[in-house]
């Protein structure tokens, strides 16, 4: 059973976190989006959720989220995915499109890893197996937040490091394998037929704004929000801007 925060009442919003984090990365939005039922699970093997059976994949994560909605008797949600959460959202569109009433793709990309990217995943997997989740923190932290956050909130960066470092090693490795093997979702973009928000931090160096612009351009009717003063984690770096953008999407659905 996945660990999951379920807060409030109203139309449901499902929050899918990125790597190597957990549901905490959505806490400002979960706390603020009154008038909606906010559902924020930890993916299998990350945060406080146990690892699932068999190898992790975007498909196994999407299936676990579908089971989470079943347990809560939710027929339809606004689906929000950040980075890896976005890769998983594409898989949810394949597995249970009828349940997705609106879509928010934050700091993510539709294409698969390149060969070079896959080799980088393998190197990080080997490092995490040897040194633990601290290797994931070392590799990701310098890229996760924007320069504005890094300069203004150094103490907060230490909190982020502490959280990444306590991630379970097997869950981190499973997520890296799943990310490495993810399919190209670009062909899906033109078929998305629900209200869609594409949001990106202006200082994101992992999935930079030009990727978000191209993705928004390929999704019929999608709106694009570029959040100033944020890198790859705008939910935490500029929480109010993200909450407002999500609220406006959820009200349109
Ligand atoms: C994430 O934030 O989920 C990761 O940056 C995804 C990735 O490394 O591709």
DSSP string covering 177-233:
HHHHTPPP-HHHHTT--S-EEEEEETT-SSS-HHHHHHHHHHSTT-EEEEETT--S-
Amino acid 85: pLDDT: 98
**CA–CA separation, 211 and 21 (whole Å):** 22
**CA–CA separation, 2 and 7 (whole Å):** 16
Provide the token pair at 81: 């995915």
Task: Give the count of beta carbons closer than 10 Å to the beta carbon of residue 240.
Answer: 11
Q: Would residue 99 count as lying in a domain?
A: yes
Q: Which residue has the tokens 């190209």?
A: 184
Please give the angle made by the CA atoms of 87, 109 and 7, to the nearest 5 degrees. 50
Q: Would residue 138 count as lying in a domain?
A: no
Q: Which of 179, 183, 231 to mutate to test the pocket of ligand 1 (most atoms within 8 A of CB)?
A: 179
Residue 72: CA count within 13 A, CB half-sphere: 29
Q: Which residues line the pocket of ligand 1, CB cutoff 6 A?
A: 18-19, 83-84, 179, 206, 232
Range of the domain at 55: 4-111+183-252
Question: What's the gap in Å between 34 CA and the centre of ligand 1?
Answer: 28
**CA–CA separation, 162 and 151 (whole Å):** 18
Q: Would residue 228 count as lying in a domain?
A: yes
By CB neighbour count within 10 A (0-12 exposed, 13-18 middle, 19+ buried), where does 1 fall? Answer: exposed
Q: Would residue 232 count as lying in a domain?
A: yes
Sequential pLDDT tens for the chain (253 residues) = 689 999 999 999 999 999 999 999 999 999 999 999 999 999 999 999 999 889 999 999 999 999 999 999 999 999 999 999 999 999 999 999 999 999 999 999 999 999 999 999 999 999 999 999 999 999 999 999 999 999 998 888 999 999 999 999 999 999 999 999 999 999 999 999 999 999 999 999 999 999 999 999 999 999 999 999 999 999 999 999 999 999 999 999 9
How many separate domains does the chain show? 1
pTM given for the model:
0.97
H helices within the chain, ranges in order?
Answer: 27-32, 58-71, 84-95, 115-131, 134-144, 147-152, 154-165, 169-180, 186-189, 209-218, 234-237, 239-252
Question: What's the gap in Å between 84 CA and the centre of ligand 1?
Answer: 5
Question: What's the gap in Å between 83 CA and the centre of ligand 1?
Answer: 5
Amino acid 1: pLDDT: 65
Q: Would residue 189 count as lying in a domain?
A: yes
Amino acid 92: pLDDT: 98
Q: Would residue 140 count as lying in a domain?
A: no
CATH code of the domain covering residue 47: 3.40.50.1820
Provide the token pair at 17: 């976190």
Q: Would residue 120 count as lying in a domain?
A: no
Q: Would residue 92 count as lying in a domain?
A: yes
């Amino acid at each position: 059973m996945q660990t999951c925060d379920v807060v409030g009442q109203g139309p449901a919003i499902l929050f899918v976190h990125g790597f190597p984090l957990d549901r905490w990365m959505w806490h400002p939005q979960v706390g603020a989006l009154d008038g909606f039922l906010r559902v924020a699970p930890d993916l299998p093997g990350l945060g406080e959720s146990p690892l699932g059976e068999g190898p992790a994949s975007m498909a196994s994560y999407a299936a676990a989220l579908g089971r989470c909605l079943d347990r809560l008797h939710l027929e339809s949600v606004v689906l929000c995915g950040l980075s890896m959460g976005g890769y998983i959202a594409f898989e949810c569109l394949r597995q249970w499109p009828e349940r997705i009433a609106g879509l928010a793709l934050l700091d993510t990309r539709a294409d698969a890893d390149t060969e070079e990217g896959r080799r980088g995943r393998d190197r990080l997997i080997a490092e995490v197996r040897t040194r633990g989740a601290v290797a994931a923190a070392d590799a990701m932290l310098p890229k996760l937040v924007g320069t504005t956050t890094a300069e203004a909130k150094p103490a907060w960066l230490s909190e982020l490091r502490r959280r990444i470092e306590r991630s379970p090693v097997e869950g981190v490795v499973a997520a890296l394998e799943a990310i490495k093997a993810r399919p190209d979702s670009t062909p899906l973009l033109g078929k998305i037929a629900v209200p869609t928000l594409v949001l990106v931090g202006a200082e994101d160096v992992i999935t930079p704004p030009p990727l978000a612009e191209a993705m928004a351009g390929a999704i019929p009717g999608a709106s694009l929000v570029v959040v100033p003063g944020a890198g790859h984690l705008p939910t935490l770096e500029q929480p109010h801007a993200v909450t407002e953008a999500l609220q406006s999407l959820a009200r349109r659905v």
